Structure 1
Amino acid sequence: MRSQLLLIAKTPVPGQVKTRLCPPCTPEQAADLAAAAIADTVATLSAVPATRRTVVLSGQMTVPRGWSRVEQHGDGLGHRLANAFADTAMPGTASVLVGMDTPQLRVDLLSAAASLLDDADAVLGHAEDGGWWALGLRDPAAARVLRNVPMSTAETGDRTARALQALALRVAPLPVLRDVDTWADAEAVATSAPQGRFAAVLTAMRPQGTR
């Protein structure tokens, strides 16, 4: 089945992104890490075969060459995610959405996620903190269930899975990944993907109170 890739992202403005990294990071360092995470994710998604690649953006940012762009809108993250699927829907095309918090993503992992949608109705990648890092849907209209799923909780992933299953969808699991929320997360992710820009930026900085 044809598939498109969606990246939901927020402009890396100091004081507005990755605030849980502060401390030990300064707001500027946290924004630099967010920008690096976006860059790594864009590079990975750009290498995955897809009908279209779209940044679903909050704020102002230059769109990568060859990518489309739509604006985030809606009251709360669940509504913004549902609207992202609806605004980018293409006939006969599955949609796979990821966020900017998993710069350790690999091409083979995303390619496998898209391939699973040849048989499954949905794919869902849980995050270690209880959320999810990826959601793929054969029919993007099914994302409407996200409007009623509380986001950013320890049960978000499980509740998303149950909401999709309540539509009688076949949900295939993806590997569990670690989101970058805290400094410990950032260190762990950089260690798991040492060749990326995220790891290079983290290594180069010396956050206050960190050795």
Structure 2
Amino acid sequence: MRRILIVIAKSPVPGWVKRRLTPPLDTASAATLHKCFVLDTLDKAAAVPDTELVVAFTPEREIAFFREAAPGAGMFIPWPEADAGSTLASCFQELCGPDRSVVAIGTDAPTMPARSFELAFNALSSGSAEVVFGPASNGGCYLLGTSAHDGSVLGKFNWPAFNPEGEGVELAAGLGIGWYLLPEMLTVDVPSELMQLKKSLFESAGESMWAPRTRLYMECLKDTGAI
């Protein structure tokens, strides 16, 4: 089965990304941390074997950053930030097809282990699940995947805001399709989640290995007293 992995990312523009982390961070530090999230996620995605990497990015003028960050990607798709859900649905409809599994992930879960990609693709290729959800710690969704031929089923989910363990599973059951839930992951968008990230990175070697840039920069923030 053909495997396609979409990474959905914003360019690390100061004052535009991770604004809810300011304070405690200043805009430049928040943007640098976001850049670490993006690069750690792209590195994990690029290392998934037998998988085609697609980068859906915003803003469109920042394509040079993403081409440099993901040189192995086969496709770069610009998307308008204000309509992420519709753009994701369009990506799935374009990329889905017979004998294909398509998985999409954001960049707010930097400590997600690489094995999560394999769990998602394996669930889809087994035939037992037509959709895969990755529930985020904030109640949203950090990963979404499908093996549906036309991808239209994804248009029914308001990614990334919907709750996969509630409305996602309920809607999948109502549609009569199989579903699979990945382990919940920490997503980082507000100060309390930043503190949770700090704790997990400095207390768990297993989690820090999946986010080397993020851990290194968090050490800098810790040393300067920013966190």
TM category (shorter chain) comes to 0.7 to 0.9
Deviation at 1:90, TM superposition (A): 4.5
CA distance in 1, matches of 2:215, 2:133: 26
| Cα-to-partner distance string for 1:39-77 (whole Å, 9 max, x where unaligned) | 111111111124310011111133211102111148633
Change (3 A) 1:158 1:89: same
Alignment partner for residue 65 of structure 1, among 68, 71, 93? 71
CA distance in 2, matches of 1:74, 1:20: 16
CA distance in 2, matches of 1:97, 1:150: 10
Task: State the 4+ residue runs in structure 1 displaced beyond 4 angstroms.
Answer: 206-209
| 1:144 corresponding residue in structure 2 | 155
Of Structure 1 and Structure 2, which has the larger fraction of its residues in helix? Answer: 2
Change (3 A) 1:43 1:26: same
Deviation at 1:10, TM superposition (A): 0.9
Q: How does 1:15-30 map to 2 (within 5 A)?
A: 15-30=15-30
CA distance in 1, matches of 2:176, 2:222: 50
Contact 1:73 1:83 in 2 (8 A): no
Contact 1:24 1:209 in 2 (8 A): no
AA partner of residue 131 (structure 2) = A
Change (3 A) 1:161 1:25: same
| 1:79 corresponding residue in structure 2 | 86
| Cα-to-partner distance string for 1:129-180 (whole Å, 9 max, x where unaligned) | 110111110012321212xx37536x46522332333321100110001101
Contact 2:136 2:142 in 1 (8 A): yes
| 2:132 corresponding residue in structure 1 | 123
| 2:14 corresponding residue in structure 1 | 14
- Structure 1 gaps of 5+ residues are none
| 1:113 corresponding residue in structure 2 | 120
Deviation at 1:99, TM superposition (A): 0.4
The answer as to 2:169 corresponding to 1:161 is yes
AA partner of residue 142 (structure 1) = V
Change (3 A) 1:2 1:96: same
Contact 2:141 2:159 in 1 (8 A): no
Contact 1:121 1:171 in 2 (8 A): yes
Quick check: 96-105 or 76-85, which moved more? 76-85
Change (3 A) 1:106 1:165: same
Return the TM-score normalized by structure 1.
0.88
- Structure 2 gaps of 5+ residues are none
Quick check: 80-89 or 3-12, which moved more? 80-89
Kindly report the root-mean-square deviation, in angstroms, between the aligned alpha carbons of the 2 structures. 2.3
Quick check: 51-60 or 33-42, which moved more? 51-60
| 2:105 corresponding residue in structure 1 | 98
Deviation at 1:79, TM superposition (A): 1.3
The answer as to 2:180 corresponding to 1:172 is yes
